[in-house]
Structure 1
Amino acid sequence: MRGQIYIFGGYTVAEDHSERSTPEVWRFDPASETYTHITDIPVPVDDTVALVHQDRYIYLVSGWHDTDNVDLVQVYDVEEDRWFEATPFPGAPVFGHAGAIDRDNVIHVCGGTRVVPPPAPGEHRSFAATADCWLGSLGDDPSQIEWSAGIDVPSGAFYRGAAYRDFRAIVFVAGTDNAYNYNGIGYNGEPSEPRSDTLTFIPRPADLRECEAPRIRAGRSAPIGHWGTHEGIRFMDIRGVVQGNIHGNTRTFALGGMGANQTVRDTVVELPRFVMAAEDTVLYALICVDPPVVGSDPNQPRHKTFISPANHEPL
């Protein structure tokens, strides 16, 4: 972001296996290879999601704080070196989730692991990976988020993968469906294995939100988006990705992570780009029909506007 790399929080593990979330925030300058300690996170979190908005704000959505998840959305203002809170996350607080912001300034957050309360007094709580997705619309006020429920990940729970924007799609890559702590062994005692799929979510274009009833043809209301499934890259625990413009092309990379059999990786992998398929275009090529004018001939053809999702303009 602005030629700098920001590193937020994390956690430490003591000899007794207790964990502590760390508040430190570091800014790394690749040109000078120097680190600068900037303003700490007000409520330290780890396993959170960091999202960049307007090349100025970095949103930390939910995450783990010391002993439990939090529903906080903490926002760092790069220009003023200060933190403020935004509208809280509405779902069950999670850690190990993934997210990105689409072209219409909508946050997409999916997956993660929630805390399940003890079933009875004296028993232990448990952890459950989730497929839940949430959407958050951003407006002029960076502290206000209009949250709504999204469409769940179709292939089940998604944990410790990553998400990134590719053209109009939000890509969810890597990860696992079996939640674990730091060693790759699930809370259920079973070894976690990487997912075998990569998922793309094509959001409904903002134009169509303005073209719904009464103008949209009866029975043709648009869904909020559409999931696609592709071959996976089979590793997990990457938490995030690095995107950059190289010779005019946006390229996306994942560093390290954990592969099959809890093998820690030292590789850098370029992640795929996805071109919107024809069926995705058809999905949103809805027909908006002007309502009849009072007193006009009901048999007179009315003006039709075809909305193209590829360029968000009438055809």
Structure 2
Amino acid sequence: MSKASNQPLSKPSYAPTMTLAMAQQRAQFIYHIRNFFRQRQVLEVQTPLLSQAGNTDTFLQSVAAQVTYQDKPCTYYLHTSPEFAMKRLLASWQVPIYQICPVFRDNEIGARHNIEFTMLEWYQPNYSLDEMAAELGELLEMLYGHPIIMSHYRYVDAFMDFVGIHPLTASLVALQAVAEDKGLTGFDFNSVENSQTNNEQDIRQSWLDLLFSHAVEPNLGHDLPTLIIEYPPATAALAKTTVDKEGNEVAKRFELYINGIEIANAYDELADGQVLRERFEQDNRLRWRHKLPEMPMDEHLIAASDELIPCSGIAVGLDRLLMVTTGASSLEQVIAFPSGLA
């Protein structure tokens, strides 16, 4: 008879990375979220995962799918967010809506990233960003089971506190010097192919994004859930812009951070088809400079934008939110099969 081994038994290769207990917590978590919106008479909707249009954002890579439609091969894209289709519904129905669905972003792997993850997105007609932040706070209180106080922190102030330089007025040389001083070397945003055509604003924003992600984000939301507000205008994406108290143009958006992790992203939604088209075209020019494929624009969304009523919308990464509410240390603990095991 062989001796019993003191080594723990390894999991079989087919086993999920999430425990049964966590799966039960996750099911209750999603049940409570649906109940939260049901009580507020927010309509649950379902939109297609596949679209003929892709996300033009330079830093969000769509997953392409080769399909056959009407006997012809064509490329569709798995959505990076249900935003585009939901805004088409909102323009037509003009009622509060929400959706819980899988979304897909290529080349997203890590403790806090996965190619496929779950998103909660909702839109409230005639809501200001402050009202949307208040509703987000109510959702957090329901999930945590106790009152929540959220800190409001301007992007400019957070940047100056943790980087030591004003993000909206600093020169490109100063931004690069600070990045190098903080050990962020090996990045040269001026060396992109055809760099003579690069827009200075695009290069500035690349340095700002690098510094924010490495020097600011890890410090956010450890004492209180933190809303970063008044982002640079280059990050407006599908949001409106406004002017801050110093006279600088800023995006009307906020992001929620908890324990150094980005959890949610909210906009005072842009409702101007021509401006949206110009932003998509600018995105594609930037994608070309970075040797990324240009993405087909969503003409349906552009047309719907002119009919979009004043509203705010928010996207919440549910897997990350479940992580922080349960104390999990990685996405693998809150999803059954991460991309590497799917």
TM over 0.5: no
Where is the strand percentage greater, Structure 1 or Structure 2?
A: 1
- TM-score, normalising length: structure 1: 0.22
- RCO higher in structure (CA 8 A, sep ≥6): 2
More helix by share: 2
